[in-house]
Structure 1
Amino acid sequence: MHHSPSGGAGRGTASADGRLVSIGTVLNLLRDEFPEVTISKIRFLETEGLVEPQRTPSGYRKFSAQDVERLGQVLRMQRDHYLPLKVIREHLDALQRGETVPLPAPAQPRDLLDGERGAVPPEQTAVRIGRAELLMAAEAGEAELTEWESYGLLSAASDGAYDAGAIGVAKLIAELGRAGLEPRHLRAIKAAADREAGLVEQLVAPLRRHRNPQTRAHAEATARELAGLSVRLHAALVEAALRVRLH
Structure 2
Amino acid sequence: MRPLTIGAVVAALAEEFPDVTVSKVRFLEAEGLVTPERTGSGYRRYAEADVERLRYVLRAQRDRFWPLRVIKDALAALDRGLVPGGPDEQPVVPEPAADPEVPDAASLLEGGPTVRLTRAELAATAGLDDALVGDLLDHGLLRAGADGMHGTDDLRAARAAAGLARYGVEARHLRPARTAADREVGLVEQVTAGLRGEDRRRAAAEVTHLVLALHTALVRTGLDTSG
TM-score, normalised to structure 1, is 0.46
The alignment of Structure 1 onto Structure 2 pairs a total of residues equal to: 126
Residue type of the alignment partner of 1:158 = A
Give the whole-Å Cα distance in 2 for the aligned partners of 1:120 and 1:162. 20
Are residues 164 and 186 of structure 1, via their aligned partners in 2, closer, same or farther at CA, if it must alter by over 3 Å? same
Match of 1:159 in 2: 147
1:176 Cα deviation after fit: 1.3
Are residues 183 and 192 of structure 1, via their aligned partners in 2, closer, same or farther at CA, if it must alter by over 3 Å? same
Choose the corresponding residue for 1:123, options 106, 109, 113: 113
Residue type of the alignment partner of 1:113 = A
1:32-87 Cα offsets, whole Å, 9 max, x none, are: xxxxxxxxxxxxxxxxxxxxxxxxxxxxxxxxxxxxxxxxxxxxxxxxxxxxxx9x
Match of 2:4 in 1: none
Match of 1:140 in 2: 128
Q: Which runs of 4+ in 1 moved over 4 A?
A: none
Q: Does 1:200 align with 2:181?
A: no
**Once superposed, what is the RMSD of the aligned Cα atoms?**
2.5
Match of 1:37 in 2: none
1:116-155 Cα offsets, whole Å, 9 max, x none, are: xx6673223xx43222221122111111100111111112
Give the whole-Å Cα distance in 1 for the aligned partners of 2:135 and 2:180. 19
Residue type of the alignment partner of 2:111 = P
Give the whole-Å Cα distance in 1 for the aligned partners of 2:194 and 2:163. 38
1:169 Cα deviation after fit: 0.9
Give the whole-Å Cα distance in 2 for the aligned partners of 1:183 and 1:227. 25
Q: Does 1:190 align with 2:171?
A: no
Give the whole-Å Cα distance in 2 for the aligned partners of 1:150 and 1:192. 17
Residue type of the alignment partner of 2:116 = R
Match of 1:234 in 2: 215
Are residues 119 and 141 of structure 1, via their aligned partners in 2, closer, same or farther at CA, if it must alter by over 3 Å? farther
Match of 2:41 in 1: none
Match of 1:245 in 2: 226
Q: Does 1:223 align with 2:204?
A: yes
Kept in 2: contact 1:119–1:227 (CA 8 A): no
Give the whole-Å Cα distance in 2 for the aligned partners of 1:120 and 1:146. 31
Are residues 191 and 240 of structure 1, via their aligned partners in 2, closer, same or farther at CA, if it must alter by over 3 Å? same
Q: Which has the higher contact order (CA 8 A, sep 6+)?
A: 1
Gaps of 5+ in 1: 1-85, 87-111, 209-215
Residue type of the alignment partner of 2:163 = E
Residue type of the alignment partner of 1:172 = A
1:181-217 Cα offsets, whole Å, 9 max, x none, are: 2211111111011000011012112213xxxxxxx12
1:97-133 Cα offsets, whole Å, 9 max, x none, are: xxxxxxxxxxxxxxx712xxx6673223xx4322222
TM-score, normalised to structure 2, is 0.50
Residue type of the alignment partner of 2:162 = A
Matching of residues 71-90 of structure 1 within 5 Å: none
Question: Computing the radius of gyration over CA atoms, which structure comes out larger, 1 or 2?
Answer: 2
Are residues 120 and 145 of structure 1, via their aligned partners in 2, closer, same or farther at CA, if it must alter by over 3 Å? farther
Match of 2:106 in 1: 113
Match of 2:13 in 1: none
